[in-house]
Amino acid sequence: MDYRLLTFMSETGPRAGILVGERIYDVAHETTVSSWSTVLGILEQWSMAESALEEAARRIEAGAAKSGGRPLAQAHLLAPVLHPGTIYCAGANYSDHREEMARALGLEPTPDMKELGETPWHFIKTGRSSVVGPNAAVTLPAYSKNVDWEIELAVVIGKPAKDVPVEKALEHVAGYTIANDLSARDAMRRAKMPPTSPFHLDWIGHKSFDGSCPIGPWIVPASQIADPHRLALKLWVSGELMQDSSTDKLIFDIPEQISMLSSRVTLQPGDMILTGTPAGTGAPQKRFLRPGETVRLSIEGIGEFEHSMV
């Protein structure tokens, strides 16, 4: 039974909702589990919640909902997980993006990290301050003139993962959503620090300004995505198609990323992994986001959402 898990603004504040068809129902009300009033609370009990949500969706579809729900078209959606745990972001993880960057720099393509025998590489993005939801107005940071877009398939963890082998990694995934890893390209390097210095790069300024991680519109359970490595991704800036690719161009796949991260730290329910961005970002063409522009993101099998820049 297909359904979507989301967060919506109710008359009393943010609530976890289940989308069946074109109507949203309150999860805690439909399941009678009060701790499932938030998506994070649901993810923390995902092993039990998954089957309960499927049963609720079947009942709703059969016309036996415990409430009338509310139309999706009239709902105010927030980020699916309002306050995620840790957000891990994969760097240089699409083959077409690496090729595009090499061309922009006038360089010959070099072996990628996987071809060199390396492991996946991630940085961390802040959660509560970075995350915003559908239709958010993201304020361009005052210190940057070169804010770029990066559509990413986001993996939502639903079961703790520590030292997980690749072949069991997907068992720890609750579902998938869409993220925009907004990046202040001109704030990445500290000019007074030599490139060889460990203090040369400023990852907070580059990747973690307020609103730098729009996420939405909902979480699609992993059981409803046949193959997360064959999904089309598209991103438009003010109606102009900029990114048009597929997750089949991932260098390190999702199980490899989960396995590597879990060898370093325990992944917790509510953590997210942004799996990398494909070709079509603004940096190679020196085209960056401007006030008043709208960014629309779409991933096959998940949905789409948009946000604006102010």
Given a cut of 90, whether residue 110 has pLDDT beyond it is no
Tell whether 97 and 74 lie within a shared domain: no
Tell whether 150 and 118 lie within a shared domain: yes
The CB density around residue 51, as the number of other CB atoms within 10 Å, is 10
**39-54 average pLDDT score:** 98
Containing domain of residue 70, as a range?
A: 4-78
Predicted local confidence at residue 78, as pLDDT? 98
Q: Which of 27, 51, 78 is the last residue of a domain?
A: 78
Tell whether 66 and 175 lie within a shared domain: no
- 3-class secondary structure, 144: coil
**291-306 average pLDDT score:** 98
Tell whether 189 and 300 lie within a shared domain: yes
Closest CA to 57 of 12, 104, 13, 25: 25
Tell whether 36 and 154 lie within a shared domain: no
What does the angle CA 58 – CA 11 – CA 72 come to, to the nearest 5 degrees? 45
Given a cut of 80, whether residue 193 has pLDDT beyond it is yes
Please give the single-letter amino acid code of residue 49.
A
Tell whether 274 and 208 lie within a shared domain: yes
**63-79 average pLDDT score:** 96
Q: What's the count of helices (H) and strands (E) in the chain, helices before strands?
A: 6, 19
Spatial distance between the Cα atoms of 61 and 136, rounded to a whole number of angstroms? 31
Spatial distance between the Cα atoms of 248 and 245, rounded to a whole number of angstroms? 8
Tell whether 144 and 232 lie within a shared domain: yes
* Residues 46/27, Cβ–Cβ less than 8 Å: no
Report residue 101's pLDDT band, with 50, 70 and 90 as the boundaries: confident
> What is the percent of the chain with per-residue pLDDT over 90, rounded to a whole number?
93
Tell whether 289 and 218 lie within a shared domain: yes
Given a cut of 80, whether residue 79 has pLDDT beyond it is yes
Tell whether 111 and 241 lie within a shared domain: yes
Given a cut of 90, whether residue 100 has pLDDT beyond it is no
Predicted local confidence at residue 99, as pLDDT? 87
Given a cut of 80, whether residue 195 has pLDDT beyond it is yes
φ and ψ at residue 149, rounded to 5 degrees: -105, 150
Higher pLDDT residue, 107 or 139?
Answer: 139
Tell whether 251 and 112 lie within a shared domain: yes
Beta strand spans in 137-237 (E): 137-138, 147-148, 151-157, 173-180, 183-184, 213-221, 232-237
pLDDT tens per residue, range 117-127: 999 999 999 99
Query: Structural domain tally of the chain?
Result: 2
Check which CATH number belongs to the domain holding 299 and give it: 3.90.850.10
Q: Which of 51, 78, 105 is the last residue of a domain?
A: 78
Tell whether 58 and 159 lie within a shared domain: no
Given a cut of 80, whether residue 104 has pLDDT beyond it is no
pLDDT tens per residue, range 12-21: 999 999 999 9
Spatial distance between the Cα atoms of 122 and 86, rounded to a whole number of angstroms? 12
Which two three-digit tokens encode residue 114? 């996987």
Q: Which of 54, 78, 102 is the last residue of a domain?
A: 78
Tell whether 165 and 292 lie within a shared domain: yes
